[in-house]
Structure formats: structure tokens, C-alpha cells
């Protein structure tokens, strides 16, 4: 019962951000570049959450930020998930030297600081939404591949794989029918946790100016811009921070719920 509650709570939190992002596609209170609101207007009145130091409506910025956070989060999970699962499957099936070689590459990738990797990607391309997704996804793929590799190795050692093989099932079928379904629950939980981490990573990159450039109002950049005026107008720093927490906590709760839902042995005991 507790599991179901946390899952629902997570869905509500994530759903909230999803709705905000969806609404931002069709309606915004102001134009994101509209600076007519006056500098650092307090919350209330025409501007529900006030304005930033350039006079832009904060609510508008936050709504656009939700869109960016979700785009980067989902995008980098797609990139990192595809690369990671593919690499992990290959390493999981590989024996000896190929497995050792891939493991060494993954070790280096995991040990490489995400921020440094992001700086390299940004230097090679440019600071953009795509660069952020690529950098975060690449950093994520190492961890995902590592996990996939060990999950595959564990499943391959099981009797039911040998049993399927003795009945003449080909390797591609074994992967599709037995390996992927059996590693999927754990992967799904990890990928959802990675989504939360990716959102945080995007905020960090943007805070450092390595994320999508202005006028894209990423939450991380809103935090950075509000830093200088946090004592006089705290809303500008608190609001994006709260939204970040809501999204990341929501994603983590959903990830927890997935673990219970995906495993039939847990499903019954609940």
C-alpha cells in the first residue's frame, strides 16, 4: 500500500511539471523576452511571481524552464539509455578480451567528470540544448552500460536461458523474450533515477553557463541570475529551486514505484 502511495505522489509531482511544460507550448502569461515589467518587481499584481532583474516575467521564465528541464531530462535518458543498453548488451555477451576492453572504456567514461565532459562537448560544438543532452547522455551511458552488462551476465547464467537454448531458441529470440524482459525492471528503475540526475545535471551546466544559452530560461540559469539579488528579491531564487526539487523528487518516487510494479513477485506480496 505504501508503495502505491509513493508512486501516486511521484506521478502527481511529475504530472504537475508536465502540465506546466505542456501549457507553456500553447500559452504563456508574457512573451519570454518581454522586459516591460520593470526590474525586480515583487510578486503579485500583474506579475504573479514578480520579475527578474531585466524586467522579464518570472512565471513565464519558469514555465519555459520546465519545458527545457524535461526536454534535457528525457533527451539525455534516450541518448544515454540507447548507448548504454546497447553497449551493455554487447559487453554482457562478450567474453574475455572484448569484455575486458569494453569494461576499461566504461571505467574511464564513468571516472570522467561530467562537467569536464560537458565542457569538451560544448567546446567541440556550441552551448546549446543539443550539446547539453549529448554531454549528459554520454556521461550517463557509462553507468547504464555498466549496469546492463552485469544484469545481462547474471541473466545469462540462469538455467532458463540454457533451457530455452536446449529447446532450440536462437540467440536473438533469447534476448528478446528472456534477457530484455528480465533486465528491464531494474533498468527502468535506474533510467528513471537517471532522469532525475539528468535534470539536476542540466541545472548545474546552465548555472555554469554551459547549458542552453540565453534567452532559453533554464532553471539553473534562473538560479544563477537570481544569485546576486537573492537577499532583496528571494522569489527569483526560491521558485526555480522549488520546481527542481519537485521534479527530481517526483521522478525518484516514480522510479521507486516502477520497481514494485515491474516485479511480479513483489506485486503479489504487497
Partner 1 sequence: MTLLDVSGLAVRRADGHRLVGDVSFALDAGERLALIGESGSGKSLTALAVMGLLPAGMTAHGSVLLGGTQMIGAPDRTLNRVRGRTAAVIFQEPLTALDPLMRVGRQIAGPLRRRGLRGAALRAAVRAALDEVRLPERVARAYPHEISGGQRQRVAIAMALACEPAVLIADEPTTALDVTVQAEVLALLDGLVAGRGMALLFISHDLAVVAEVADRVVVLKDGSPVESGRTRDIVGQPRHAYTRALVDSARALEGELDRLAP
Site for partner 1, rule CB under 8 A: 95, 158-160, 162-171, 177-178, 181-182, 185, 263-265, 268
Q: Tell the smallest beta-carbon distance from residue 182 to partner 1 (Å).
A: 6
Q: Tell the smallest beta-carbon distance from residue 96 to partner 1 (Å).
A: 8
Residue placing its CB nearer to partner 1 in the complex, 34 or 99:
99
Report angle CA 89, 77, 255 to the nearest 5 degrees: 95
Distance CA 151, CA 164 (A): 18
Residue placing its CB nearer to partner 1 in the complex, 4 or 173:
173
Buried/exposed code over 39-60 (b: 16+ C-beta within 10 A; e: otherwise): ebbeeeeebebbbbeeebbbbb
Residue placing its CB nearer to partner 1 in the complex, 158 or 232:
158
Residue placing its CB nearer to partner 1 in the complex, 185 or 250:
185
Distance CA 203, CA 209 (A): 10
Residue placing its CB nearer to partner 1 in the complex, 112 or 184:
184
Q: Tell the smallest beta-carbon distance from residue 190 to partner 1 (Å).
A: 17
Q: Tell the smallest beta-carbon distance from residue 11 to partner 1 (Å).
A: 23
- Contact between 64 and 121 under an 8 Å Cβ cutoff? The reply is no
Q: Tell the smallest beta-carbon distance from residue 98 to partner 1 (Å).
A: 12
Amino acid at each position: 500500500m505504501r508503495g502505491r502511495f509513493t508512486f501516486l505522489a511521484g506521478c502527481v509531482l511529475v504530472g504537475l511539471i508536465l502540465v506546466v511544460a505542456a501549457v507553456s507550448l500553447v500559452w504563456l502569461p508574457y512573451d519570454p523576452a518581454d522586459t516591460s515589467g520593470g526590474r525586480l518587481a515583487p510578486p503579485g499584481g500583474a506579475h504573479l511571481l514578480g520579475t527578474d532583474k531585466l524586467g522579464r516575467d518570472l512565471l513565464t521564465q519558469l514555465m519555459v524552464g520546465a519545458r527545457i528541464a524535461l526536454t534535457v531530462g528525457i533527451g539525455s535518458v534516450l541518448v544515454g539509455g540507447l548507448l548504454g543498453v546497447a553497449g551493455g548488451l554487447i559487453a554482457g555477451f562478450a567474453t574475455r578480451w572484448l569484455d575486458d576492453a569494453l569494461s576499461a572504456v566504461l571505467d574511464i567514461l564513468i571516472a570522467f567528470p561530467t562537467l569536464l565532459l560537458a565542457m569538451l562537448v560544448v567546446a567541440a560544438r556550441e552551448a546549446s540544448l543539443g550539446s547539453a543532452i549529448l554531454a549528459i547522455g554520454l556521461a550517463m551511458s557509462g553507468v547504464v552500460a555498466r549496469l546492463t552488462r552485469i544484469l545481462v551476465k547474471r541473466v545469462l547464467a540462469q538455467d532458463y536461458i540454457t533451457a530455452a537454448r536446449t529447446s532450440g531458441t536462437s540467440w536473438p529470440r533469447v534476448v528478446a523474450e528472456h534477457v530484455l524482459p528480465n533486465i528491464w525492471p531494474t533498468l527502468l528503475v535506474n533510467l528513471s533515477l537517471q532522469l532525475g540526475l539528468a535534470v539536476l545535471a542540466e541545472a548545474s551546466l546552465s548555472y555554469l553557463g554551459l547549458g542552453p544559452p540565453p534567452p532559453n530560461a533554464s532553471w539553473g540559469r534562473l538560479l544563477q541570475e537570481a544569485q546576486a539579488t537573492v537577499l532583496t528579491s528571494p522569489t527569483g531564487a526560491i521558485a526555480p529551486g522549488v520546481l527542481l526539487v519537485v521534479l527530481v523528487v517526483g521522478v525518484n518516487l516514480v522510479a521507486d514505484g516502477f520497481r514494485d510494479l515491474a516485479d511480479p513477485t513483489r506485486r503479489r506480496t504487497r
